[in-house]
Structure 1
């Protein structure tokens, strides 16, 4: 069977100039910090995926989701390949909770100058392209 890349959606949520990151567990990239997100489902819009994944993983809602850029992420050790679509969104409502404790240890809000470590490969690949988190929010809200 021919292997093909999977499509992941990473949601960069901004609240008071801070960004939401979670610590992965039990999957590729375990122990790394990631944006909330997940797999794009068949016939689902990218923005709908972002809203769904945010709520499923954290219990919060977002507003103004907008597609920004992508990364090509090859996890050599795990033999996985993803194209990660980055969606930026503004925080809307709710209190962040760990809703999928089998997938995430904790969530936290971080400033761009004080991000936790280690970061998940798609974020590292984003930064290698000289794309910063505030730059993703180029309309000045971040």
Structure 2
């Protein structure tokens, strides 16, 4: 951290885009969680609702249009091991595709190796640790 720079938590909104019993994951290309599989999402912008952020981030990263966006849970994630320690309050949303025939495109190849659908009971490894923690806890992004 730069001298005089105050560490402040950031808010991330991530989205379980659901298709059948599968979720959309991409392999990260970033300093935090490099080469791990993660959900689409990003930083909440000033004045933006969680639903607006979810739709914007999914569109920016995957080209997919989502609907029926629901708040699932919120987690508190402190990354002490990162090149630059950071603290994220992560808002987890669930959404479905407006049109189930849509296919994800890699809109930000500098940030992600690509997107694919994965069965929730057979997820790839390694998962981005906040997602891994949720999956191992027995959490399910699907409606009961």
Q: TM-score, normalised by structure 2?
A: 0.88
Aligned to 2:97: 91
After superposition, residues 60-79 of structure 1 pair within 5 angstroms as 60-78=64-82, 79=85
**Per the alignment, in what secondary structure is the counterpart of residue 122 of structure 1?**
helix
Aligned residues: 136
CA RMSD of aligned residues (A): 1.3
Q: Tell me if the contact between 2:72 and 2:141 (Cα under 8 Å) persists in the aligned partners.
A: no
Structure-2 separation of matches of 1:111 and 1:127? 12
Q: Give the CA deviation at 1:16.
A: 2.0
* Residue 14 of structure 2, aligned match among 10, 14, 32: 10
Matched, 1:43 2:53: no
Question: Structure 1 or 2: larger helix share?
Answer: 1
Structure 1 alignment gaps of length 5 or more: none
Structure-2 separation of matches of 1:125 and 1:40? 22
Q: TM-score, normalised by structure 1?
A: 0.90
Aligned to 2:114: 106
The structure with the largest alpha-carbon Rg is 2
